Chain A
Amino acid sequence: MRERVAIIDGLRTPIAKAGGKLKQIQADELGAHIVRELALRVGIPFKEYSEVIMGNVSQPPHAANVARVIALRSGFPDSTIAYTVHRNCASGMEAITSAAQKIAAGRGEIYMCGGVESMSNIPLFYGKEMREFFSALFASKTLAQKLLILAQFRPSHLRPVMGLMQGLTDPISGLLMGSTAEILAQDFGIGREAQDEMAMVSHHKAQKARDEGIFAQEIAPIAYGKDATLMMDDDGIRDDQNMKALGKLRPFFDKKNGTVTAGNSSQISDAAAAVVLMSESRAKEMGLTPLGYLKEYAYAGLEPKRMGMGPAFSTAALFKRTKMKMSDIDLVEINEAFAVQVMANEIAFGSKEYAIKNLGRRSALGEIDPHMLNVNGGAVALGHPVGMTGTRMVIHTLKELKRRGKHRALATLCIGGGQGGALILEVE
């Protein structure tokens, strides 16, 4: 990119366990809440924005192009254009990089971007048989025809198809996301105990960060439920998580031999996040002090059944593009889709062999200093509202750089379907 993109400010809702506190709030309302709040805090009038871009994976049936619904519900004028982006788990990142492209291309100046996911509200579907039954019934004209069709009804037709499970299944390999993680565990020889330990540490770090008010700096509370209680903190963090509790869980994806459990995977959650973007020069002109900058980004594709290695692939692409190396990076955030997947990437980053074989490089990407990786925990403890995570990582990573007085971070994640995304974020 010729010029850095300034991230003026960012904000997110607390992350709620799916089916929990935020289950009554649909994605459009959740997104509108955070976008409106951020717009007010940033203080740029709504009408001055060029566009609203939101990432969302399971787009709610009642709010097609959820970004436009969010824009109007949050207070943008009718004239503000908006569209929704979908790059699976990187949707909240894609919203930001899409805006970056548009800013670079001179198609607009000020962007409201973000990601939103209400995994509680992913619908159940009727199966194929029931759909055919309905369409035949609606098409029938006479009473006799109708009765004939009604007679073909079987209770088994009512068995629902879970949208959530479908969404988390790779359509090419037919594997559930967790099963792709099992493959990485085998590839890299990472056992159950090591995975659980990483998961436990994620909870411990997140608990500490929460207690120190670190997450509160990026959260706008949201009222939920009958009593309009204000939710102030993420509720996925298990206080004093321990190996014993994690050890009790059964492998979910490979029940006989597996190592990946609900405890060492990311949680299914509801949340929304948003950032305001503009070019660095525009921010200067307006006299704003940005939270930080997006320096560069890259996406990369790989085998769908090893999608968890997306960070290694996309970081390779990013380094190639920027000529950067690990030593240029002060802080690393790898989304914790699965504990094993983060660990596999840690190994891959440090491995020359892996780099030569898979990344088209002659040298390793570079070892990741474990003290610089996911310093406040990650999705295993906080949850992974798929469309939102990418935006959250950007906000959190920039704030953490500032807290540490560091300059540059790598934020990267794996993407269901076999992709990876990586960003270079900077402060000052």
Chain B
Amino acid sequence: MSSISVDIDNRGVCEVIFDMPHSSVNLLSTPVLEELEAHIESIKKDTQIRAVLFKSAKDGIFIAGADIGEIDSLDDESLAREKVKRGQDILTLITTIKPPTIAIIDGAALGGGFELALACDYRIATQNPKSKMGLVEVSLGVIPGFGGTHRLKELVGLSRALELIMGSKKIDADKALKMGLVDASVPSGYLEFKINSLLRELDSKQGRAKIASKRAKIPLIDKYLPAVVLMIASKRAVEKTKGHYEAPLKLIELYRASEPLSVEEALSLEVDTFCSLVVTPTCKNLISLYNTSEALKKESGTTRATKPITIEQASVVGGGVMGSGIVWLFSKLEILVRLIDRDPKQISKALKHIRSIYKTLRKRRRITDHQISTKLDHITYSTSLDAISNSNLVLEAIIESSSAKKDLYREIEARVSKECIIATNTSSLSISDLASELEHPQRFIGMHFFNPVNRMPLVEIIPGQMSSPKSVATVVELAKQSGKTPIVVGDCAGFLVNRILIPYINEAIQMFEEGEDMERIDALVEEFGMPMGPFALADEVGLDVGYKVGTLLYEAYGERMSIPKIFEDIYSLKILGKKSGSGFYLHGSKSLTPNHKVQALVKERRSFDSEEIIDRCMLIMVNEAARALDEKVVKNASYLDMAMVLGTGFAPFRGGLMRYAEDRGLENVVVTLSRLANAYGDRFVPCDALVKMSKESRSYFKES
């Protein structure tokens, strides 16, 4: 079945229309590219053609990119070279068409799709909110390979090309016009008018000159001092990637090396660079995370066919950091949301917090003042539970006290309709237990956001024993709508992420107690690829919070989660972490210095091998994750990995925690764990499930 149709009208305007069968998107797979090649060849022979338009018949999509499955399958550099070079050649063929070529972008034009647009002479983009353009390959650990690096640089200059590719930026039509990426930005309704007027202009020399003169000029520094631009970019890339991601650096290297080269040579070098990256584990891991996120988008949270409730009005009880963050999120979605807190001062604090989040967005030009005031209009507030009767979701975010929560639910149930969903943002209490005294427990569900709500993309969805499929589907859909990634997890202590993370923090503190330097542990863990070390993280979260959750997990899981003695001492000193100015570190100045009060609690100094430190930190998590998988706390290892990446920032280039374990080899993991168990205690004894997987040489990923 063909994916491309060609239509030539009586004016000699040729339309090349992409419309992949049985798909909601267009992709540049090998068959599609080959089909395109054939069409271009015949277009080139047709002397009647006056202009060639590249269009899509899909709604909201121009061309979404290359076929990621195909990229993922490229394991061998030389085979990859052949394939990619062929694709690049076909897009280059567009540049050899004599009549003007125009890309009509009325939908997403990403990666290879945008490279195709770049190969055209002109581009028109619509102001359709879905019309996002960009070369986003770096987010998958590669660089553009179909001539995009070269053509983008020619069009907008080196510095903008670097900015767009290195940041995997997706930009809209207006911004694209400003940057010179497109020749027109029009409302969708005016698209046909614009195409016609552009075609008329292209008929005359003056017209063409006029279009050319309107394009944004390439900055002088790009022309005369490219070395400086590259140097600055390189410095930034090293800072940002901490050396874990090759793609940005290789892109810079490619631009540096291409400077004296001809177009053909530069294009060829682009393919080489692409191929050297596409076979790296980083690229494969990033692609697998991408695939997982696509799979999660399709999850409704329940196997039952049930329609989620559309949340029109919501109430949030508890105006603390989490509650106010959630109110902000709902207001951003323009859901009428009521903030309830007994203390008017807390309401003021919450409103101030919400405003400050919007202010940050405005500073980054993500939102205008006018939009902010519209969104703030959706927030009401009260010191009592009045006026919640029309809410179809009430989210509780009060203190972690089972009795206080249950009392509150009773009051809520007396006021809302039977269909209203009651959700809790608890991070530690059992959902089934919290639901036990409800009149309608099927409406109750856990919706665990991470702090800070505006920045953390993960939401753990925790159904209790009685939660109805509709309740699950509703909060899953709501989380998706708000741009978060919901992952359904089991109702065990700590749910998924905290259950795995707490042993790791405990272990780090244990090593500190044994005499290791906390800064060294943090540095090693960062080098491993975590966004911050365990001590910095504990300070960030708050030592009181960490201690309480830790205690709860200890009660639930026993000795393997026992809290290091020194943590108890620190807790009893009322050292609370960043919020009190000091935790493991002192937080007064910009750089962190170890807190001498905490340091004084350590009797003797001792230094471990760096490998041992990483093993103790990471494998204790792997062991717990294996248990969680065995208990089916989460659907599969890919989702677990995603939860760890989104919830803790676990090194994405490693693909996630279990992917890391498998890359080491499960056997190696088991052996190392056993050794650690001998040296440091039973908490390291590899769990049965892990031992079994290793013995049977099975993979956590092939089964899912």
Contact = CB atoms under 8 A, between A and B. Distances in A.
A43 B390 contact: yes
Interface residues of B, number: 21
Interface string B344-355: 100111011001
Interface in B343-401: 344, 347-349, 351-352, 355, 373-374, 377-378, 380-381, 383, 386-387, 389-390
B683 interface: no
Interface stretch (A105-113, A227-235, A323-331): A227-235
A227 B347 CA distance: 10
Contacts of B387: 37, 40-41, 43
Interface in A218-241: 221, 223, 226-230, 232
Contact of B389 (A29, A36, A43, A230): A43
Contacts of B380: 36-37, 40
A226 B344 CA distance: 15
A229 B343 CA distance: 12
Interface in B311-359: 313, 336, 338, 344, 347-349, 351-352, 355
A61 interface: no
A227 B386 contact: no
A223 B390 contact: no
A229 B346 CA distance: 10
Interface residues of A, number: 19
A73 B336 CA distance: 11
A193 B381 CA distance: 44
Contact of A223 (B313, B348, B374, B378): B348
A40 B348 contact: no
Nearest to A42: B387
Contacts of B347: 223, 228, 230
A268 interface: no
A45 B390 contact: yes
Contacts of B313: 40
Given A37-B380, A40-B338, A73-B377, A221 B344 contact: yes
Interface string A27-46: 00100100011001101010
A71 to B, nearest CB: 12
Contacts of B386: 41
B377 A32 contact: yes
Best-buried of A36, A40, A43 by chain B (most CB within 10 Å): A40
Contacts of A221: 344, 381, 383
Contacts of A73: 374, 377
A74 interface: yes
Given A40-B390, A75-B336, A228 B377 contact: no
A22 B336 CA distance: 23
Contacts of A45: 390
Contacts of B355: 228
A228 B348 contact: yes
B352 to A, nearest CB: 5
A286 B380 CA distance: 26
A184 to B, nearest CB: 42
Contacts of B383: 221
Contacts of A228: 347-349, 351-352, 355
A223 B338 contact: no
A230 B346 CA distance: 10
A113 to B, nearest CB: 19
Nearest to A230: B344
Interface string B646-657: 000000000000
Contacts of B351: 223, 228
A43 B381 CA distance: 15
Contacts of B348: 223, 227-230
Contacts of B349: 228
B382 to A, nearest CB: 8
A29 B376 CA distance: 10
Nearest to A38: B387
Interface string A83-103: 000000000000000000000
Contacts of B336: 36, 40, 75
Interface string A11-35: 0000000000000000001001000
Contacts of A227: 348, 352
Nearest to B373: A29
B381 A223 contact: yes
B123 to A, nearest CB: 35
Contacts of A37: 380, 387
B89 to A, nearest CB: 53
A226 B356 CA distance: 11
B394 to A, nearest CB: 13
Nearest to A41: B387
B159 to A, nearest CB: 39
Contacts of B373: 29
A43 B338 CA distance: 13
Given A40-B338, A227-B352, A232 B377 contact: no
B47 to A, nearest CB: 52
Contacts of B381: 221, 223, 230
Given A37-B387, A41-B386, A74 B377 contact: yes
B338 A232 contact: no
A228 B196 CA distance: 53
Nearest to B389: A43
A163 B313 CA distance: 40
B634 to A, nearest CB: 38
Nearest to B391: A40
A118 to B, nearest CB: 15
Nearest to A221: B344
Interface in A25-79: 29, 32, 36-37, 40-41, 43, 45, 73-75
A37 B374 CA distance: 16
Nearest to A44: B390
8 contacts: A40-B380, A40-B387, A41-B386, A45-B390, A73-B377, A74-B377, A226-B352, A228-B351
Question: Which 5 pairs of residues, A with B, have the shortest CB-CB distance?
Answer: A228-B351, A40-B387, A41-B387, A230-B344, A228-B348
Interface of A: 29, 32, 36-37, 40-41, 43, 45, 73-75, 221, 223, 226-230, 232
